[in-house]
């Protein structure tokens, strides 16, 4: 199973199309969206290619493949534009025998969520990519495809056959890799 992990689109059609084009040859089975899909938020500038309705339209074409959680910039009004649910504050998945706890990252912290050993805590929100073992779990943050922070480029995550990786949106270069 191939899962693309995308966070913090913030309404940028340009960032979304760039990311989906990078992912197309890989042919993901599913897309895990970690929130902040349509709105840029009051603390962020208006991103290049800002077109929330067009982002919703583009994501709706992938609706049967999408699993999503709500970000701090997402609202019930955004849900009206989308053909897949985004109002859950978290989602839990069972992937290859491991529990994945997915949230945006503003409500839940890894140490506060009881998870069995080997679980993944997956979040966005900080716009900083993370891929590391911490104790008996794995922490994953794909970064942001729209507003990267620090020295990191815009990025997204991929999962396939027990391997997690984070890739740059511009060139698809692998930035981090972790074998589970």
Please spell the DSSP secondary structure of 62-131, one letter per residue: TGGGEEE---TT--HHHHTT-SS----SEEEEEETTEEEEEE-SSS--GGGS---TT-EEE--SS---EE
Residue 146 pairs in a beta bridge with: none
Q: Say how far apart CA 55 and CA 45 lie, in whole Å.
A: 17
**C-alpha of 117 from chain center:** 23
Q: Say how far apart CA 167 and CA 145 lie, in whole Å.
A: 10
Cα 162 to Cα 3, 77, 92, 118, 152: the distances in Å are 11, 36, 17, 12, 24
Evaluate whether 87 touches 103 at the Cβ level (below 8 Å). Answer: no
- At residue 101, the pLDDT reads 98
List strands edge to edge, sheet with 137-141: 90-95, 98-103, 120-122, 137-141, 130-134
pLDDT band for position 46 (cuts 50, 70, 90): very high
- At residue 102, the pLDDT reads 98
- At residue 161, the pLDDT reads 97
- Please write the tens of the pLDDT for every residue from 117-165: 999 999 999 999 999 999 999 999 999 999 999 999 999 999 999 999 9
- At residue 136, the pLDDT reads 95
pLDDT band for position 10 (cuts 50, 70, 90): very high
The overall average pLDDT reported for the chain is 97
Q: Say how far apart CA 125 and CA 107 lie, in whole Å.
A: 10
Q: Say how far apart CA 162 and CA 90 lie, in whole Å.
A: 22
Q: Say how far apart CA 69 and CA 38 lie, in whole Å.
A: 13
What share of the chain has pLDDT > 90, as a percent? 98
- At residue 77, the pLDDT reads 95
Segment 70-83 shows an average pLDDT of 97
Domain 2-179 falls under CATH 3.90.550.10: no
């Amino acid at each position: 199973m191939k899962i693309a992990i995308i966070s913090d689109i913030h309404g940028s059609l340009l960032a979304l199309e760039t990311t989906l084009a990078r992912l197309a040859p890989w042919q993901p089975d599913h897309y895990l969206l970690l929130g902040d899909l349509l709105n840029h938020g009051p603390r962020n500038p208006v991103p290049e290619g800002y077109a929330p309705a067009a982002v919703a339209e583009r994501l709706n074409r992938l609706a049967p493949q999408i699993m999503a959680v709500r970000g701090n910039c997402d609202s019930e009004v955004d849900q009206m534009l989308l053909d897949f649910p985004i109002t859950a504050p978290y989602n839990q998945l069972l992937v290859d025998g491991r529990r994945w706890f997915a949230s945006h990252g503003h409500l839940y912290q890894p140490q506060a969520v009881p998870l069995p050993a080997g679980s993944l805590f997956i979040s966005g929100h900080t716009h900083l990519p993370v891929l590391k073992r911490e104790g008996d779990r794995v922490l994953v943050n794909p970064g942001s495809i729209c507003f990267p922070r620090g020295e990191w480029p815009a990025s997204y995550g991929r999962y396939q056959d027990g391997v997690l990786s984070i890739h740059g949106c511009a060139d698809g270069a692998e930035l981090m890799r972790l074998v589970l």
